Amino acid sequence: MSAEEQQLATIEHLCTSLYTASDEQQRNAADAQLAGMFGTSNSKTVGATTVATTIVSGQGIASNAAAADISAIPRHEFVLSRSVNSFALHFSATALLQIVTSCWQSLNTEQRIQLRDFAFNCFVAKGPQLERVAVRSLITLTCRITKRGWCDNPKYHLVVTEMMKLLTGSNSNPFYQRLGLTFLQELVEEMQVIRVQGLRRSGRTAAIAFRDQGLREIFVAVNVCYKV
């Protein structure tokens, strides 16, 4: 077993223990090890952006806070590209969602789209092998990035086109039809959410643009799917 394979196996084992172990000491040990693997320093500051280290402190999961450091992105991409363990994928997708939410301005367009494509390709390619918890986490991450970047670059729109092809294609099977409907439903719901950030309300511009540019196409695709 190579060093990378061993590292991935360790992450998968620890994530499984973190979420499923009935013994509290075992969960705490997994938590501590994951925090050490994904956290790079005591400081969680990148430029002018600070990632909260108490994201889930009420639940005592220190590893989630460590994994939500922007410097941990390459490790999460490694997990998304190599793993089929639902708990490891859920762990990384959840951390990336927090990074996207907290550090959006610290990511450039290429990084944002790369993360979105990693998540999208992961649940499309590995979906039949994954538990629902991983698929939903990956879909949520994909939809959040797509919404936040919708008005910035047409590349953010491509994921909708690809999903509609998957949904209505002649070779589409029932699993991918269900997956496509789930994804499009969550995207429509995500687009309607207006979030308050300090004194600003974010999301309204994207919601209007999405309504004008993409919503009709989605309704047409879903109609075709049901008629088939």
Q: pLDDT value at position 167?
A: 74
Three-state secondary structure call for residue 202: strand
Dihedral (C-alpha) 125, 130, 132, 138: value to the nearest 10 degrees?
-50
Place of tokens 């990632």: 51
Q: pLDDT value at position 62?
A: 79
Q: pLDDT value at position 71?
A: 92
Three-state secondary structure call for residue 110: helix
Give me the DSSP letters along 122-172.
HHHHHGGGS-HHHHHHHHHHHHHHHHHHTTT-GGGGHHHHHHHHHHHSTT-
Handedness of CA 112, 129, 165, 177 (dihedral sign): negative
- From first to last of the 228 residues of the chain, give the pLDDT tens digit: 798 999 999 999 999 999 999 999 999 999 999 999 998 654 343 332 333 333 333 334 678 888 989 999 999 999 999 999 999 999 999 999 999 988 999 999 999 999 999 999 999 999 889 999 999 999 999 999 998 998 888 888 888 888 877 777 655 678 888 888 888 889 888 888 765 454 345 556 776 777 666 666 666 555 555 554
Q: Count Cα atoms within 13 angstroms, Cβ side, for 1.
A: 8
Residue among 131, 209, 221 nearest 181 (CA): 221
- Rounded-to-integer distance, Cα 112 and Cα 136, Å: 19
Cβ atoms 142, 156 nearer than 8 A: no
- Rounded-to-integer distance, Cα 90 and Cα 83, Å: 11
- Rounded-to-integer distance, Cα 117 and Cα 211, Å: 22
Distance separating the N- and C-terminal Cα atoms of the chain: 46
Compute CA 144 distance to the chain's CA centroid, rounded to the nearest angstrom: 8
pTM: 0.82
**DSSP letter, residue 192:** T
Q: pLDDT value at position 199?
A: 39
